[in-house]
């Protein structure tokens, strides 16, 4: 076995060389390379290396290995410090010496084989480098030739030299940091700084900066030599953490040169010399008087707002932790939910009473007694120092508001109906005149028929009766409350019907004209509402013209350019719309009253001649459907109702198809009418079964429901109404064709009848031709 010679390392000389390198500004890598080179020179044939531990003592990385190849440095970089740390890492983990005479006998060290072969080495001695506090600084290793006899006295000497180099480098680093700290502290403009000799309360002040003089008064010369306790009366209580930990931060009293004191935040830092001996104390202080005042003011504000939240009468305020436990519960929350603050504080609310963070929204919660309550709530998350995150929710009980809204809607509906009835009163005179003419015609023809029976007389009576029927239908349509939803509607036919009714209202001295563009597309509007609007506008024009003039009602498609402006809501109207207008050649509208046209109860008519509701109702009906009203400027008055185009074109109902058997069941509690209907239906080749008792008819139907091809029933009957008869019959025969006839009913209309499955809804008196056509279409239905 080859002997490796060893020379004793001169400790003092080597240490001086290390210090000299550090003082000359050499890097730590250069210093450690020098240490390894010194060992390699004194012991020919070996290669030393230094692996340094990271601050967390988790990894090793190469500090110096001047005699080893670059591949070796890459392998040992980020080598884990662990029980299985591959030689060097294991030595650092156990913090004890480790010897491997031949790494080629250890397969777990296979990754080191190429590096060791390249320099002709095989053995390795490792020693941990540990500071005085037992902290691992790194691993010192000596790599040996194969079968070498190594004197292990060299290993601790090299480790001690490496430790000395690392510690000196750390001290110089800290000294540089301390020096920079002193220089920066002295230049601080926002912090008062002084330096004292030693860590004693009466240590003399050696240096102060300008900011300290501004804070405490006096000049720098006034403070030099005074004891530290003069400017920090309670400093004795703060020095113990500085002795143990090197620094301390606290809130204490500061004392000015005139003897007055103030609250301050102080940071004390011990500063050491080259040999890690504490030589002086750095004290930095900040006046926190303003901060304390702000905190006190914030506490007062918090207390004031807390009191507001606690006592606000109609807004429930609750604060909850992230886990849902209640931290704040005001008196309004107690009234709204029924839980007292003592019941819910620091507890989660029962299921159904809790609500998570929410934007402004309506939702339903449960009271203590289990009853639901609709609330409007909004939440906000607040993070407070010392308290953490809290979610505060403000909630308002919507029950009174919903009730008030319901009452408002009911009152508004009554108002609309009252205005409609007022306009109906305006129609009464003209309609009564026409109706009397019709009756006179019928009565006269009846008298003539007694003298001579002529088909021409019967035709005239039928035409007069149909005219009376049409007048009654129009009046009923106008007077009953509208319950239909607006839908895509071609307005040409409704306007023509309204025109026929209004002709009776307008005196013959006035020229009422109709101007319809029959190519106008459908609009979204309710024909019943349109009837009310046009009646109001035409009556207003009639009253303004005072017996002489022209009134025109029109319909067309418009695409305003430039855009029009709504006279009631001032919105801009552009793009294609359907326009319904009423204009006259009267005196027009005074500019002074244009701004009040749509105010409720505003009228220019005399007492007992108008309620002032017509245009206010017009404004509401039109704007509810997304439309607008434009009042033109003279001559005369011009009102344009601008309606939205329907997205889908209005469509007619699909043609009916045929059904089964020819027996028709007729039910009507009026004997003469029931008998007449039976005779009429028989003339069309159907078999009929006539009942004037709805309960008897129902018994017969239930016995043999498949016999009947169709059902014709009155609505208003004792025992079982037509609606009830039809509903129960459809449960037995869902395919049964049904015609429901009524003179007038508040309970059912055409829409609700169709929704039930009733195929046809006919208004009495029913024309025989209409009845025949309807029956033929239904019974032909498969």
The per-residue pLDDT for range 327-342, each reduced to its tens digit, is 888 888 888 888 888 8
Residue 765, preceding peptide bond in cis (omega within 30° of 0): yes
Q: Which of 528, 414, 512 is nearest to 475 (CA)?
A: 528
- Using a pLDDT cut of 90, give the percent of the chain over it: 19
Mean per-residue pLDDT for 68-72? 90
Average pLDDT over all residues of the chain: 80
**25 contacts: CB under 8 Å, gap ≥ 6:** none
225 phi and psi angles, rounded to 5 deg: 90, -15
For 369, list phi and psi in degrees, rounded to 5.
Answer: -80, 5
CA angle 247, 253, 255 (to 5 degrees): 110
Rounded average pLDDT over 756-782 = 83
Q: Is the bond preceding residue 609 a cis peptide, omega within 30 degrees? A: no
Q: What is the pTM of this model?
A: 0.35
Angle between helices 399-451 and 527-545 (to 10 degrees): 70
What integer is the mean pLDDT of 698-725? 90
Between 150 and 99, where is the model more confident?
A: 99
CA 139 distance to own-chain centroid = 60
The residues with which 214 forms a beta bridge, in sequence order, are: none
Q: Which residue has the higher pLDDT, 347 or 23?
A: 347
Alpha-carbon distances of 470 from 435, 680, 763, rounded to whole Å: 10, 22, 10
Q: What's the number of CA atoms in the CB half-sphere (13 Å) around residue 723?
A: 14
Q: Which whole number is the average pLDDT over 661-676?
A: 84
Cis peptide before 635 (omega within 30 of 0): yes
Which residue, 25, 22, 32, 17, is CA-closest to 63? 32
Q: How confident is the model at residue 655 (pLDDT cuts 50, 70, 90)?
A: very low
Asked if residue 569 has pLDDT above 90, the reply is: no
How far is C-alpha 396 from the chain's CA centre?
18
Report the pLDDT value the prediction gives residue 269, as an integer from 0 to 100.
84
CB 104 within 8 A of CB 122: yes
Task: Quote the CA–CA distance of 98 and 1 in Å, as a whole number.
Answer: 20
Q: What is the 3-state secondary structure (H, E, C) of 564-596?
A: EECCCCCCEECCCEEEEEEEECCCCCCHHHHHH
Over residues 709-719, the pLDDT tens digits come to 999 999 888 88
Residue with tokens 């006839």: 741
| pLDDT tier for residue 154 given thresholds of 50, 70 and 90 | low
pLDDT of residue 93: 92
Segment 153-176 shows an average pLDDT of: 74
Residue 53 reports pLDDT greater than 60 = yes
* CA–CA gap between residue 569 and residue 629 (Å, rounded): 8
Q: Which tokens sit at 25?
A: 């500004």
Burial letters 143-165, b for 16+ CB under 10 A, else e: bbbeebebeeebbebbbbbbbbb
Q: How confident is the model at residue 300 (pLDDT cuts 50, 70, 90)?
A: confident
CB neighbour list of residue 422: distance below 8 Å, 6 or more residues apart: 611, 613
Helix and strand counts by DSSP (H, E) for the chain: 23, 32
Dist. CA 728–CA 715, nearest whole Å: 14
Taking only Cα atoms into account, the Rg of the chain, rounded to an integer number of angstroms, comes to 52
User: For the residues 534-550, what does the mean pLDDT come to?
Assistant: 86
What value does the mean pLDDT take over residues 141-152? 76
What sign for the dihedral angle of Cα 442, 443, 448, 449?
A: positive
Task: Please give the average per-residue pLDDT across 52-64, as a whole number.
Answer: 89
Average pLDDT of 114-140? 89
- Which residue bears the tokens 């319950």? 483
C-alpha pair distances (Å), 366 with each of 320, 343, 371, 372, 693? 17, 16, 6, 4, 51
* Cα distance between residue 533 and residue 641, in whole Å: 9
| Pair 188, 167: CB distance under 8 Å | no
Reference 506, options 440, 550, 476; nearest CA is 550
Predicted pLDDT at 593:
82
Q: Hey, CA dihedral for 409, 414, 417, 419, is it positive or negative?
A: negative
CB-based contacts of 512: which residues, under 8 Å, 6+ apart? 499, 502, 503, 506, 538, 551, 553
Higher pLDDT, residue 657 or 556: 556
Q: Give the span between the Cα atoms of 83 and 94, in whole angstroms.
A: 7
How sure is the predictor about 558, in pLDDT bands with cuts at 50, 70 and 90?
very high
Confidence grade of residue 7 (pLDDT, cut at 50, 70, 90):
very low
Using CB atoms within 10 Å of the CB of residue 488, give its burial: 0 to 12 exposed, 13 to 18 middle, 19+ buried.
middle
Q: What pLDDT, on the 0 to 100 scale, is given for residue 138?
A: 92
Strand partners, 153: none
Structure tokens at 233: 């009366």
């Amino acid at each position: 076995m080859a002997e490796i010679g060893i020379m004793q390392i001169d400790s003092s000389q080597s240490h001086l060389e290390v210090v000299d390198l550090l003082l000359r500004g050499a890097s730590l890598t250069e210093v450690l390379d020098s240490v390894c080179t010194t060992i390699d020179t004194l012991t020919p044939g070996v290669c030393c290396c230094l692996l340094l531990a990271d601050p967390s003592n988790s990894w090793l990385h190469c500090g110096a290995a001047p005699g080893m190849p670059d591949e070796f440095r890459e392998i040992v970089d980020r080598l884990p410090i662990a029980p299985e740390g591959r030689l060097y890492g294991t030595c650092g983990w156990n913090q004890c010496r480790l010897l491997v005479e031949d790494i080629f006998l250890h397969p777990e060290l296979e990754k080191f084989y190429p590096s060791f072969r390249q320099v002709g080495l095989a053995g390795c001695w490792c020693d941990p480098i540990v500071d005085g506090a037992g902290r691992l600084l790194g691993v010192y290793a000596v790599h040996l030739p194969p079968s070498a006899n190594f004197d292990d006295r060299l290993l601790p000497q090299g480790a001690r030299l490496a430790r000395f180099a690392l510690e000196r480098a750390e001290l110089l680093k800290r000294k540089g940091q301390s020096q920079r700290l002193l220089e920066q502290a002295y230049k601080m403009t926002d912090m008062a700084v002084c330096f004292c000799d030693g860590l004693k309360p009466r240590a003399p002040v050696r240096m102060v900066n300008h900011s300290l003089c501004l804070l405490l008064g006096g000049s720098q010369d006034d403070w030099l030599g005074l004891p530290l306790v003069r400017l920090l009366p309670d400093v004795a209580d703060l020095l113990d953490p500085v002795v143990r930990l090197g620094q301390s931060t606290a809130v204490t009293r500061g004392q000015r040169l005139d003897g007055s004191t103030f609250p301050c935040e102080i940071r004390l830092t011990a500063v050491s010399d080259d040999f890690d001996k504490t030589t002086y104390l750095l004290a930095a202080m900040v006046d926190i008087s303003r901060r304390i005042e702000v905190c006190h003011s914030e506490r007062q504000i918090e207390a004031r707002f807390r009191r507001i939240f606690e006592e606000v009468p109609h807004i429930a305020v609750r604060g909850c932790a992230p886990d849902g436990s209640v931290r704040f519960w005001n008196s309004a929350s107690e009234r709204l939910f029924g839980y007292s603050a003592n019941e819910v504080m620091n507890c989660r609310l029962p299921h159904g009473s809790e609500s998570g963070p929410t934007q402004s929204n309506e939702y339903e919660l449960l009271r203590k007694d289990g009853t639901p309550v609709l609330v409007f709530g909004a939440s906000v998350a607040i993070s407070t120092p010392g308290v953490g995150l809290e979610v505060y929710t403000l909630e308002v009980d919507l029950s009174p508001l919903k009730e008030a809204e319901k009452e408002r809607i009911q009152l508004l509906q009554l108002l609309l109906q009252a205005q409609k009835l007022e306009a109906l009163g305006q129609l009464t005179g003209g309609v009564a005149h026409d109706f009397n003419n019709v009756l006179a015609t019928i009565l006269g023809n009846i008298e003539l028929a007694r003298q001579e029976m002529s088909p021409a007389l019967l035709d005239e009576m039928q035409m007069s009766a149909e005219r009376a029927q049409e007048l009654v239908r129009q009046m009923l349509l106008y007077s009953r409350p509208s319950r239909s939803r607006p839908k895509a509607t071609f307005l040409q036919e409704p306007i023509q019907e309204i025109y026929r009714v209004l002709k009776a209202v307008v005196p013959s001295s006035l020229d009422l004209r109709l101007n319809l563009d029959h190519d106008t597309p459908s609009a979204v509007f309710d024909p019943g509402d349109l009837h009310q609007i046009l009646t109001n506008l035409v009556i207003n024009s009639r009253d303004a013209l005072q017996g002489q003039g022209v009134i025109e009602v029109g319909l067309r498609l418009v695409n305003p350019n430039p855009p029009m402006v709504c006279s009631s809501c001032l919105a801009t109207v552009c793009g294609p719309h359907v326009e319904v207008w009423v204009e006259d050649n009267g005196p027009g509208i005074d500019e002074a009253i244009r701004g009040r046209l749509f105010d409720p109860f505003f009228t220019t008519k005399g007492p007992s001649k108008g309620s002032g509701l017509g245009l206010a109702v017009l404004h509401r009906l039109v704007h509810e459907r997304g439309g607008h009203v434009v009042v033109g400027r003279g001559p005369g008055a011009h009102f344009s109702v601008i309606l939205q185009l329907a997205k889908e074109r209005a469509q007619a109902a699909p043609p009916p198809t045929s059904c089964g058997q020819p027996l028709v069941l007729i039910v009507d509690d009026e004997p003469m009418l029931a008998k007449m209907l039976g005779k009429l239906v028989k003339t069309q080749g159907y078999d009929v079964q006539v009942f004037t008792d709805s309960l008897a008819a129902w018994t017969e139907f239930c016995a043999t429901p498949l016999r009947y091809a169709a059902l014709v029933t009155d609505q208003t009957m004792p025992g079982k109404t037509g609606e009830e008869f039809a509903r129960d019959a459809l449960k037995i025969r869902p395919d049964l064709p049904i015609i429901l006839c009524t003179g007038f009913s508040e309970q059912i209309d055409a829409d609700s009848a169709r929704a039930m499955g009733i195929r046809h809804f006919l208004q009495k008196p029913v024309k025989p031709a209409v009845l025949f056509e309807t029956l033929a279409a239904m019974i032909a239905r498969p």
